[in-house]
Amino acid sequence: MLSLVPGVVVEHIGATALASGMTKGDVDLNVRVALERLGEVTDALGEMGSPAQYQSWTATFTSLRSDRYALALGVQVTAIDGPEDFFVLIRNAMRASPELAASYDRCKRAAAPLGPQRYWEAKDRFLGELLVTLGQR
């Protein structure tokens, strides 16, 4: 990945970045980049996969997905210090608090049988509340 887009910060995020996070079996990365390079980096990474959650894209956030690897890959591209540049903050908060990570896992377990949309909504609600607690919203 770094050979495609030199000069970016790549962070392992999501459940697989936690000691005991519940995962659906994919790996998530956050590619942090200067705002003026967001389009260039998204285009370069497009060689690895396809746009994901396109409805959520903004001038400071894009996402891609690829099933070309042993584990599915999700890539969140964020402008450094942009409004969506919170993935590392969330990861670090969960690493620092096993109780918080366990609460997030309980949320995901409860929502999983409700289907993909409700699962996403439950996770989004949980993480939105966490960001408020962390002073990010």
Domains observed in the chain: 9-133 (3.30.460.10)
- At 115 the pLDDT is 96
Token pair 């609460």 is found at 103
Residue-wise over 90-102: b if at least 16 C-beta within 10 A, else e? bbebbeeeeebbe
pLDDT at 87 over 70: yes
* Bridge pairing between strands 61-66 and 26-33: unpaired
Q: Mind listing the pLDDT tens digit for each residue in 118-137?
A: 999 999 999 999 999 999 87
Distance CA 10, CA 29 (A): 7
Q: Phi and psi (nearest 5°) for 59?
A: -70, -15
Provide the edge-to-edge strand list for the sheet that holds 26-33: 9-13, 26-33, 72-79, 61-66, 50-51
Q: Mind listing the pLDDT tens digit for each residue in 29-76?
A: 999 999 999 999 999 998 888 989 888 999 999 999 999 988 999 999
